[in-house]
Structures are given as structure tokens and as C-alpha cells.
């Protein structure tokens, strides 16, 4: 018998070039097999003739592995491709039987499992998290009466009124087709060309250009069902509703320069934030509420509740809280769960129903269709993440990737008399559409009641605090500044004049285009609405640093007492301290306690944190004085309006950074962080902003 040559992996292991044999001494690892269950003897080397000879087509083990790999990707979502998900539960505060018979809203003791996926819209799967964009906020409730998908956004209105325009909107915002750029950006000609020709987009544009377009965290983001839905109780009484999600931590945003810098420093900023919070046991929580109103009330509103470019001001209809959602578990596998989850607004349960909103009606078609293309089979509901957690039975059969083995033998049809166990419909407990009377001519038209495109855009702008208004001006100035076509810019300036002359004038000034706005004639003259405080994030922001991150820029020899007191103070507020040191290896405090930094200076710019403290050991500031990253760290923290605390030892660095002074730049005395925390609770030092940038 020929002597077997020594396996190459046995040799390479010794010289550290990979190809280890993975023989664990404890024998805990599972036996590796092919997809057919055949034990694999060698997962490192392809079958060849001799050690340096040609490879054999016969190597079915290698071919199976490579073939599977070649087919690993499925088409990414055409919109909302970049997203991140988590598991959790929903629990109602009390029974809402008066409003709806939906099973998951009946018993306060009952927790309904949920899966949530947050997303950006325009960018592809590998794009970055902090793009200026709408965020998806899609929730799948695995209820006892079937899966209910509330597929919403973080903005309560939409760009268009009719689903027919959706492909155009998305074509316009996606990378331009000849050059395939820009990625994940609306700041380019085709997007602004399209929206400048669509007055109905103006309200939504105000929201996307505002702070809402660059959220601080998925944990600090509101969500909205957007469309008007119906809720129906057991007696058949129907009310109209609008859905709202409110984050327990409050709604916060980045500022533009920060978002741009984060996209380079940590493209995964939002997913990392969600993942780490859940891993740390700090479970994000959101309150679900509805605005409830009757059709009669709706008729009196000065907008049409079927128009998805309009919101119902909370001053008109306040929120009724229904319950809370807690996200308490990360996925085990991103692809199997987050990528394969298939949301469809048509996944409905008894007690909730659709309205005639034309955008919603179009969506009821689109999502099922898109899942067929993405997941490749009408059996996508069998994937574990999509499968209902209640019993499911019908007579749909076969198709690609059928995972089930139906036990009904002969009778896969009904009615049948051969098999009494076949699933049958139930008129009493089954889903019954609300019997809304409908009549009319067939036509392709837009209701006249949808024609006022400026009043609510103006209402939104007017309802913002001063910094929020500044950011809308800044957002528009930046995006239109990137547009090359002059006619598009002039047209947009014309729309802005109709929304608010102050807004229009400021953007024109920032573009260097004063007096160049087109004169546009609105279909309906905008009304002068009262501001709605509920629309402003900062007017209702909690004074809190819960869920936020304090960065401590420090060195070896940091005072043990200082570090301990800061960690304690942060914990008491529900915040987290991230230690940033010059290098990533462990450092010792002045008492010899070992601290492993969360990150190292060059890899963790201050843009990644909510507020910062600079506290090198007494004799270590020199380390920072020669580091551009340290100087930028301080300058950016100041430029991003953050609260900065520093110890006396850090003074030379603060000086060198040349930042200004205000109540947000604090020299820390000893271990008392009370003033630092009070200032940090303001989120940012807004009054610093006008002194730093014109837009
Ligand atoms: Fe979507 N949308 N959409 N959309 N949408 C999709 O479905 C569509 C709209 C929203 O995390 C797609 O599975 C049409 C409004 C979210 O998996 C697709 C119209 C709102 C997500 C689709 C709209 C949304 C999607 C792409 C105009 C807020 C991500 C992949 C009528 C209320 C869900 C997919 C996830 C995804 C179609 C407008 C929210 C193509 C035709 C309005 C959160 O089916």
C-alpha cells in the first residue's frame, strides 16, 4: 500500500499559515458533515492528484461547499435594503376591547412576541447607517390570531399620494442609472428634479430635511403607521386610527456634520448601538398609541385623512396609549432572521382593517409580490422568522422549497366529504373585512381634497424650535447645494417660498441665489395653521441622559477615584461610560486597577458619543498634545455642540484645541459630576451653534 503523504495542514499549523485541523481535545464540537449528512474528513484541502497535481471534478465535498457559497445571497430589498432587527414583546396596558377585538390588545397580562426591523430607505445593503433618509420601523406581531405587520416609518407622512408614483420616487432617489452614484444620498439632481415637480412631496421633504432624517439611535426614534387604519370592536363599531410609536428614551438626532463623520468612523453606528444595548440588558422600549377619531370627525378636518401626505395634529386628536414594546433579544443569525423577514402591510388580524388610502392600497399588492421575488417561493411563510406562532392550516400546497409534509392524505381541496379533518373556514372567528359601503365610477384621478400641498409643510416648519428650524434650512441648503441643475434649484426655491418665506429666503441666501426663486402658483392657497408643539422633538425631549454614551478620554494612571465616581454617576442616570485611551490594550489606574479601554483614540472620534470628558493622568497630557486625533476630538465635540468636561491636567489640550467657552465646557473639580450631568441633559448646547456655522 502506498504511503499516505503527510497532510499539508499538519505542516502549516506549525508555521502558522492556517489550515489547522481543529481537533478540539474536549470533543465538544459537532461532527462536520456534507448537506447529506456524510462525515467530512478534511475541510481544508481540495481533492487533487498528488500534492501538487490537478484538482478533481469528482470532489463533491468541495463542489457542494462552493456551490452553496455561490448562492449565498438573495436579492436585497429594492428599498429599505439596509436594516437591523431584534426580537421582543408587546404588552397592552389594559384591555382595549372597546376599541378593537384584536386579540393582542385584550389582556394586559399577555405578552405577544414581536420582531422589529429598522432600516434606511435609499441605500443598498452595504451602505452606512447615518445617511440622511427616512427610517423604516416595521413590527411583526406574532399574535394568537395570526401575524400582524405594522410596517411604518419614523416620519408620519409620505412623499406621494398614489402608489403608482412609488417606482418613480425610488428611481429618482437611488443612484443615477448611468453612473451608479451617489449611494444612499438624496442630495443629487434626479431626486430634487422629481420632488420639485411633485408639490405633494413638500410636507415629507420638510421632515426628511429636519433632524428626523438623521436619528441618534433606533432606540431614540419615533415610529408611525402613516396611513389611516380602522379599528373594529366585537360589536362591529368602527373607528379610524393613526398609529404612533414613542421611544421611552425620548427622540434625539445627530447633527449633520456629526452624521457625516460617523458614517466614516462607524458605518454600523445604529446597528452596533441597538445590538450592544440589548446585549448589555438595556432593552429599548417604545409606547404604542393611536389617535382615534370617527369618520364624522374626519369629515370636519381641513385635510383628507386618506391622504398620506397629511398628519392629524395631536392638538386635534390626542394620543391614546395602547401598550409597550420591549426589544430584549438580538437575533441568532442576521441572514435567517433580519434578511429573510418578510413584512407585508396585508398581514392583518381581526379587529384592525385598512382604509382607502391609495398609497396603502397599493402597498397591499406590492409587499407580497416583492417577497416572491426576494425569497423566491410562496412558501416564504414557512421560514422560522415569518412563520406564525399560532396554529396554521390551509390547503395551499407544493411550490418551491415546500418544507412541510402535509398529513392530509387524499383530500387537498374543500368542500370534501372524504376527510373530516381538512381545515375549514369559520365565518364567526375568521377575518371579515369591515363592510364599508363603496360606490362610484371607475376613474384615474386624484381627489380634490388631496390638493393642499403646503399648509402642513408650513405647519411643520412653524412648529419647530429655533435650532430645529436652523437644521431644516441647513439640510435644504446642503442638498440643493449639491444639485447642479439651476432650473431644479429655482423651482425648489419657489416651493419653499410657498411654505415659509423666511425658510425660502434663508435657503436662497445660503445657495447664493437670492431673488432667483420661481414663482409658483399653488393649487390651493396654504392656510395659516397654529403651530403643533407635539411635532418638535426638542420641545418635548426628556431632560435625561438615559441610554446615552459619555466618552472618557484618558490615559494610564487615571485617578481611580475619578473613574469610579464617573461610572457610578453615569449608572445612576442610566448612561454608559466608554473609556477611550491612546491604545487599545489594558491600562492601569493610579491605584493599579486594570481597565480595558472600550476603544482607542484614532478609532473612536468624539462624534460617536453624546458628551465627553477629557481626563489624562496628571503627567500624561503630553501624549495628546502631539496627536491630531486628540485635538480633533475636542474640536469636534465642541463643534457638535456637546458638553465637554475636563480635568485640570487636560487644560493644555483644551487650550491647544482652541475651543470657546460656555456653560457646556466645564472644568471638573474633584469627583463631582452634578453640573456636567445637568448640562449633558440638555442634549446639546444649542446656543453655541450660530457662533460656529452659517448653515
Ligand atoms: Fe414600503 N416597500 N412601499 N413603505 N416599506 C418595501 O417591501 C412600497 C411605504 C416600508 O424592514 C418593500 O419587503 C410601495 C410607506 C418599510 O423589511 C416593497 C409603497 C411606508 C419597509 C415596498 C411603499 C413604507 C418597506 C421592499 C408606495 C411607511 C421595510 C422590500 C405605495 C408607512 C420592511 C419589501 C422591512 C419595504 C413597497 C411606501 C414602509 C418594494 C409600493 C408609505 C418599513 O414591497
How high is the pLDDT of residue 407? 83
Q: State the distance from the centre of ligand 1 to the C-alpha of 633, rounded, in angstroms.
A: 39
- The model's pLDDT over 610-669, given as tens digits with 9 standing for 90+, comes to 999 999 998 999 989 999 999 999 999 999 999 999 999 999 999 999 999 999 999 998
What is the atom index within ligand 1 of the atom nearest the CA of 369? 44
Is residue 87 annotated as a catalytic residue, yes or no? no
Q: State the distance from the centre of ligand 1 to the C-alpha of 367, rounded, in angstroms.
A: 7
DSSP annotation string for 67-113: HHHHT---PPPSSS-SEEEEEEEEEESS--TTT---GGGT-TTPPEE
What is the atom index within ligand 1 of the atom nearest the CA of 78? 26
Q: pTM, whole model, 2 decimals?
A: 0.95
DSSP annotation string for 332-366: S-HIIIIIT----TT---TTEEE---HHHHHHHHH
For residues 355-379, average pLDDT: 97
Is residue 153 annotated as a catalytic residue, yes or no? yes
Determine the Cα–Cα distance for residues 93 and 84; give it in Å rounded to an integer: 27
- The model's pLDDT over 164-194, given as tens digits with 9 standing for 90+, comes to 999 999 999 999 999 999 999 999 999 999 9
Q: State the distance from the centre of ligand 1 to the C-alpha of 79, rounded, in angstroms.
A: 7
Residue with cell string 395634529:
313
Coil/strand/helix, residue 383: coil
Instruction: Given the residues 87, 96, 153, 347, select the one marked as catalytic.
Output: 153
Candidate of 74, 75, 77 to mutate for ligand 1, largest count of ligand atoms within 8 Å of Cβ: 77
DSSP annotation string for 25-42: TT--SPPPB-TT-PBPS-
Determine the Cα–Cα distance for residues 114 and 441; give it in Å rounded to an integer: 41
pLDDT band at 27 (very low <50, low <70, confident <90, very high): low
- The model's pLDDT over 434-470, given as tens digits with 9 standing for 90+, comes to 999 999 999 999 999 999 999 999 999 999 999 999 9
Whether ligand 1 lies within 6 angstroms of the CB of 77 is answered as yes
Q: State the distance from the centre of ligand 1 to the C-alpha of 129, rounded, in angstroms.
A: 18
H/E segment holding residue 147:
strand 146-153
Whether ligand 1 lies within 6 angstroms of the CB of 136 is answered as yes
Minimal CA–CA distance to 475: which of 151, 247, 624, 259?
259
Coil/strand/helix, residue 513: coil
Taking each continuous run of H as one helix and of E as one strand, the counts in the chain are 19, 18
How high is the pLDDT of residue 6? 52
Residues 92/97/100/102 CA torsion (nearest 10 deg):
60
- The model's pLDDT over 507-522, given as tens digits with 9 standing for 90+, comes to 999 999 999 999 999 9
Q: State the distance from the centre of ligand 1 to the C-alpha of 80, rounded, in angstroms.
A: 7
- The model's pLDDT over 596-615, given as tens digits with 9 standing for 90+, comes to 999 999 999 999 999 999 99
| Backbone torsions φ then ψ of 118, nearest 5 degrees | -100, 150
Atom 28 of ligand 1, residue of closest alpha carbon:
152
- The model's pLDDT over 552-589, given as tens digits with 9 standing for 90+, comes to 999 999 999 999 999 999 999 999 999 999 999 999 99
Long-range CB contacts for residues 46-54, cutoff 8 Å, separation at least 24:
51/5, 51/8
- The model's pLDDT over 115-173, given as tens digits with 9 standing for 90+, comes to 999 999 999 999 999 999 999 999 999 999 999 999 999 999 999 999 999 999 999 99
Amino acid at each position: 500500500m502506498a504511503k499516505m503523504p503527510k497532510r499539508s495542514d499538519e505542516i502549516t499549523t506549525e508555521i502558522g499559515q492556517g489550515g489547522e485541523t481543529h481537533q478540539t481535545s474536549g470533543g465538544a464540537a459537532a461532527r462536520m458533515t456534507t448537506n447529506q449528512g456524510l462525515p467530512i474528513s478534511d475541510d481544508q484541502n481540495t481533492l487533487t492528484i498528488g500534492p501538487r497535481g490537478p484538482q478533481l471534478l469528482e470532489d463533491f465535498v468541495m463542489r457542494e461547499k462552493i456551490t452553496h457559497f455561490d448562492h449565498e445571497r438573495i436579492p436585497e430589498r429594492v428599498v429599505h435594503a439596509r436594516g437591523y432587527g431584534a426580537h421582543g414583546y408587546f404588552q397592552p396596558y389594559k384591555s382595549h376591547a372597546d376599541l378593537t377585538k384584536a386579540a393582542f390588545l385584550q389582556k394586559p397580562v399577555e405578552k405577544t412576541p414581536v420582531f422589529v426591523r429598522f432600516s434606511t430607505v435609499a441605500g443598498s445593503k452595504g451602505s452606512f447607517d447615518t445617511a440622511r433618509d427616512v427610517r423604516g420601523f416595521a413590527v411583526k406581531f406574532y399574535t394568537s390570531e395570526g401575524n400582524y405587520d405594522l410596517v411604518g416609518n419614523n416620519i408620519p407622512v409620505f412623499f406621494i399620494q398614489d402608489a403608482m408614483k412609488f417606482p418613480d420616487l425610488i428611481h429618482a432617489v437611488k443612484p443615477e442609472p448611468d453612473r451608479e452614484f451617489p449611494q444612499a444620498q438624496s442630495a443629487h439632481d434626479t431626486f430634487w428634479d422629481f420632488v420639485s415637480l411633485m408639490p405633494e412631496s413638500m410636507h415629507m421633504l420638510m421632515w426628511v430635511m429636519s433632524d428626523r432624517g438623521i436619528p441618534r439611535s433606533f432606540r431614540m426614534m419615533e415610529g408611525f403607521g402613516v396611513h389611516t387604519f380602522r379599528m373594529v370592536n366585537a360589536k362591529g363599531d368602527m373607528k379610524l386610527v393613526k398609529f404612533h410609536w414613542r421611544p421611552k428614551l425620548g427622540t434625539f438626532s445627530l447633527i449633520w456634520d456629526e452624521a457625516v463623520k460617523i458614517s466614516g468612523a462607524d458605518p454600523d453606528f445604529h446597528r452596533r448601538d441597538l445590538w450592544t444595548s440589548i446585549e448589555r440588558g438595556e432593552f429599548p422600549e417604545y409606547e404604542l398609541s393611536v389617535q382615534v377619531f370617527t369618520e364624522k370627525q374626519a369629515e370636519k378636518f381641513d385635510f383628507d385623512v386618506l391622504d398620506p401626505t397629511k398628519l392629524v395634529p395631536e392638538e386635534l386628536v390626542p394620543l391614546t396609549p395602547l401598550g409597550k414594546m420591549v426589544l430584549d433579544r438580538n437575533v441568532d443569525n442576521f441572514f435567517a432572521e433580519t434578511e429573510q423577514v418578510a413584512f407585508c402591510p396585508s398581514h392583518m388580524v381581526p379587529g384592525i382593517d385598512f382604509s382607502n388610502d391609495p398609497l396603502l392600497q397599493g402597498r397591499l399588492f406590492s409587499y407580497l409580490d416583492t417577497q416572491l421575488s426576494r425569497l423566491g417561493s410562496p412558501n416564504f411563510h414557512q421560514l422560522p422568522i415569518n412563520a406564525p406562532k399560532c396554529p396554521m392550516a390551509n390547503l395551499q400546497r407544493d411550490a418551491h422549497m415546500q418544507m412541510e409534509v402535509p398529513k392530509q392524505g387524499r383530500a387537498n381541496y374543500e368542500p370534501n366529504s372524504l376527510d373530516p379533518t381538512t381545515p375549514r373556514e369559520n365565518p364567526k372567528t375568521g377575518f371579515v373585512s369591515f363592510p364599508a359601503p363603496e360606490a362610484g365610477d371607475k376613474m384615474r384621478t386624484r381627489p380634490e381634497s388631496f390638493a393642499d400641498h403646503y399648509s402642513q409643510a408650513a405647519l411643520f416648519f412653524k412648529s419647530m424650535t429655533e435650532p430645529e428650524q436652523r437644521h431644516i434650512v441647513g439640510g435644504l441648503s446642503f442638498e440643493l447645494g449639491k444639485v447642479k441643475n439651476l432650473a431644479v434649484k429655482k423651482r425648489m426655491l419657489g416651493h419653499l417660498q410657498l411654505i415659509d418665506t423666511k425658510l425660502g429666503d434663508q435657503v436662497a441666501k445660503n445657495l447664493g441665489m437670492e431673488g432667483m426663486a420661481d414663482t409658483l402658483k399653488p393649487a390651493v392657497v396654504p392656510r395659516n395653521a397654529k403651530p403643533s408643539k407635539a411635532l418638535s422633538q426638542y420641545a418635548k425631549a426628556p431632560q435625561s441622559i438615559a441610554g446615552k454614551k459619555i466618552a472618557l478620554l484618558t490615559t494610564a494612571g487615571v485617578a481611580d477615584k475619578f473613574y469610579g465616581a464617573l461610572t457610578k454617576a453615569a449608572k445612576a442616570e442610566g448612561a454608559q461610560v466608554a473609556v477611550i485611551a491612546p491604545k487599545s490594550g489594558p491600562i492601569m489606574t493610579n491605584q493599579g486597577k486594570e481597565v480595558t479601554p472600550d476603544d482607542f483614540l484614532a478609532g473612536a472620534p468624539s462624534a460617536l458619543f453624546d458628551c465627553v470628558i477629557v481626563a489624562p493622568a496628571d503627567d500624561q497630557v503630553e501624549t495628546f498634545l502631539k496627536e491630531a486625533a486628540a485635538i480633533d476630538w475636542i474640536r469636534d465635540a465642541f463643534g457638535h455642540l456637546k458638553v465637554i468636561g475636563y480635568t485640570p491636567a487636560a487644560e493644555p489640550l483644551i487650550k491647544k484645541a482652541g475651543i470657546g467657552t460656555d456653560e457646556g465646557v466645564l472644568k471638573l473639580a474633584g469627583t463631582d459630576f452634578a453640573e456636567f450631568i445637568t448640562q449633558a441633559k440638555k442634549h446639546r448646547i444649542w446656543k453655541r451653534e450660530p457662533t460656529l456655522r452659517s448653515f
